[in-house]
Structure 1
Amino acid sequence: MIVSVTMNPSVDISYPLSTLVLDDINRCDKVRKTAGGKGLNVTRVIHQMEAEVISTGLLGGVLGEFIRENLSSEGIKHDFSNIQGDTRNCIAILHDNYQQTEILEAGPTISTEELTSFEETFLTLATSSDVATLSGSLPKGVSKDYYSRLLSLLSNTDIKVILDTSGESLKSALESPVKPYAIKPNSDELQALLGEEVSTDYTNLSDILSHSLFDGVPLIMVSLGKDGAFAKFDESFYRVEIPSIPVKNPVGSGDSTVAGLAIGLSKRKSIEDVLKYAMTLGMLNAMEDTTGCVDKTKFDDLFNQVNVYKL
């Protein structure tokens, strides 16, 4: 089983408008409200691929109940810890030829007692799982090194942890004694971490991923958009080439890629197939209008068009 963690979930509200008019009234007759957050996108895609997954994290208030009901209506297993604060809204206004303006609430402040309760739930779920995914930002009241705390809770287990975060949260986890099994940075996040620019032809990625900051992390997958991906597994490097696809909505493709990594690892696939699972689901998400959504019927055909080369 895969356990997917979302520490700062949200109700994602999408307002499609032909034109956004500032300092005036904008009326919208088509509104979409869904359980959101990077980890919930991961959960949804794993579920759509009919792999066993359970979602956990922190939820509170009326919006927290909405997320529980939304997940239950989709048949997705979940076991979230309760908090006193209200779960946040995140608003996306889609306007003027595919422009997107976002308003992201910070969310509630989490207490020490609430974190302790969550950790008990997380440890129970994780110890009966093969893979854990930790995705997204941390809420207020939670220290930047909290993902390191979750990694330490699993230090005596064989669970493979995929960490998909950025900034200080990622750096702290990479500097901690207990490392994640896999990370999935993009080129901008690598540059922010190391202060080294990724070359436009990606020829220096081998050197960048050999940096001592990544010591002890078995799998690093760098997403390169339409150019596929570059990966380091143990001491070997891989180039992943993908076919050209019709892109409708690339938002959430990174989360879908994490879902692919999780499924491939839980199935104990070869590293080549793990990378192909990841890229296939990332592409399938980009081919759909809805964020964190894939069409399973198209998986096999696209999977067979992904090529992985050991360098």
Structure 2
Amino acid sequence: MILTLTLNPAIDMNYQLGHLTINQVNRCGRVIKTAGGKGLNVTRVLKCVNAEVLATGFLGGKTGEFIADELDHAGVSHHFVTIKGSTRHCLAIMHEGNQTEILEDGPSISGDEAAAFLREYDRLLDQATVVTASGSLPKGLPKTFYQQLIERAARKNRKFLLDTSGESLKAGIKASPYLIKPNQDELAALMGEEAAGEAGLVASARRLAETGVRFIVVSLGKKGALGYFNGRAFIAEPPAVQAVNAVGSGDSMIAGLAYGIDRGLAPEEALAYGAAFGTLNAMEARTGYVDQAQVEAFKKKIAIRTVG
């Protein structure tokens, strides 16, 4: 079973506008509301391909109830810890080929709520084979919280896939997660310098591997991703497609990686699924969705090449 962590979920509100006019009334005829947060995007994509997946994290207030109801309606298994604060909203405005986002901070987690989550997490780890953790930490939790979760997973020999940024990522790396997935900007912030070309990306990945992270994946957007595992580097390149909604494509890549890793596939094959899931999500209007009927055929179109 794949256990997905969404510690700072949200109701994602996607407004589809032909044109956004600042300081004027903008009317929107199409609004998509989903149970959101990066980890829940991962969860939904895994559900699309019938993977055994269970979601956990924190939920609170009426917004939390909405998310739980949406997951129930979709048949997604979940065990969230209830908190006093209200789960947040996040707004994405699609306009003129652009995407403008407004993200609420979300609730603050108390010490008792964090302790309750750790007890639930330890119990769920007994059922899991792979763990994914995506997105920011909510207020109230220490920057080392992901680090704690990775250490607990390691004690039970569970593979932990960490997709976050900033101080949470730096702290998490200290616990040697199985996989991290920074994009190029996040990699530059992590390493303190821009990586120049493919050679620079490989050099940065090699340095990260020295910290004990087994599998480094650098997201390259529509160009796919670079993988580094056990001293070898490779790139998964998807074919060019017409993107409809790229929101959640990075999360879909994590879902594909988890899907491949959970099946015991080679890193190159897992990365091919990651690139396939990420690209297929971008072809859909819905966030965190892939068409299962297209997965295997599209995955065969992903070109894997070695980077020397």
Per the normalisation by structure 2, the TM-score is 0.95
Q: Aligned equivalents of 1:101 and 1:280: distance in 2?
A: 25
The alpha carbon displacement at 1:45 in A equals 0.2
Q: Aligned equivalents of 1:69 and 1:265: distance in 2?
A: 30
The 5 A counterparts of 1:276-291 are 276-291=272-287
Change (3 A) 1:269 1:213: closer
- Asked whether 1:85 is paired with 2:80, we answer no
Task: Give the corresponding residue for 1:45.
Answer: 45
Q: Contact 1:127/1:159 (CA < 8 Å) preserved in 2?
A: no
Q: Contact 2:153/2:159 (CA < 8 Å) preserved in 1?
A: no
Number of equivalences? 307
The alpha carbon displacement at 1:99 in A equals 2.5
- Asked whether 1:218 is paired with 2:211, we answer no
Q: Aligned equivalents of 2:277 and 2:208: distance in 1?
A: 30
Q: Aligned equivalents of 2:245 and 2:6: distance in 1?
A: 22
SS of 1:162's partner is strand
Q: Aligned equivalents of 1:14 and 1:275: distance in 2?
A: 28
More displaced stretch, 15-24 vs 224-233: 15-24
The alpha carbon displacement at 1:225 in A equals 2.1
The alpha carbon displacement at 1:203 in A equals 2.0
Q: Contact 1:261/1:277 (CA < 8 Å) preserved in 2?
A: yes
The 5 A counterparts of 1:91-102 are 91-95=91-95, 97-102=96-101
Q: Aligned equivalents of 1:15 and 1:28: distance in 2?
A: 7
SS of 2:278's partner is helix
Task: Give the corresponding residue for 1:181.
Answer: 178
Deviations 1:149-192 (CA, angstroms, capped at 9, x unpaired): 11122231111000000011001111x2x311001111111111
SS of 2:161's partner is strand
SS of 1:155's partner is helix
User: Which runs of no fewer than 5 residues in structure 1 stay unpaired?
Assistant: none
Change (3 A) 1:101 1:226: closer
The alpha carbon displacement at 1:122 in A equals 1.3
Task: Give the corresponding residue for 1:195.
Answer: 192
Change (3 A) 1:105 1:221: same
Q: Contact 1:38/1:255 (CA < 8 Å) preserved in 2?
A: yes
Deviations 1:245-276 (CA, angstroms, capped at 9, x unpaired): 22222221110000011011111112221111
The alpha carbon displacement at 1:75 in A equals 0.7
Q: Which amino acid aligns with 2:298?
A: L
Q: Contact 2:237/2:275 (CA < 8 Å) preserved in 1?
A: no
SS of 1:231's partner is strand
More displaced stretch, 68-77 vs 264-273: 264-273
Q: Which amino acid aligns with 1:35?
A: A
Q: Aligned equivalents of 1:302 and 1:29: distance in 2?
A: 33
Task: Give the corresponding residue for 1:4.
Answer: 4
The 5 A counterparts of 1:293-304 are 293-304=289-300
Q: Aligned equivalents of 2:155 and 2:93: distance in 1?
A: 45
Q: Contact 2:13/2:92 (CA < 8 Å) preserved in 1?
A: yes
SS of 2:253's partner is helix
The 5 A counterparts of 1:66-215 are 66-95=66-95, 97-174=96-173, 176=174, 178-199=175-196, 201-211=197-207, 214-215=210-211
Q: Contact 1:280/1:299 (CA < 8 Å) preserved in 2?
A: yes
Q: RMSD over aligned Cα, in angstroms?
A: 1.4
Identity %: 45
Q: Aligned equivalents of 2:236 and 2:27: distance in 1?
A: 44
Deviations 1:189-233 (CA, angstroms, capped at 9, x unpaired): 11111112122x322222111215752111001111232221111
Q: Aligned equivalents of 1:55 and 1:13: distance in 2?
A: 20
Q: Which amino acid aligns with 2:300?
A: N
Q: Contact 2:125/2:156 (CA < 8 Å) preserved in 1?
A: no
Q: Aligned equivalents of 2:228 and 2:6: distance in 1?
A: 26
Change (3 A) 1:90 1:212: closer
The alpha carbon displacement at 1:2 in A equals 0.2
Q: Which amino acid aligns with 1:308?
A: I
User: Which runs of no fewer than 5 residues in structure 2 stay unpaired?
Assistant: none
Per the normalisation by structure 1, the TM-score is 0.95
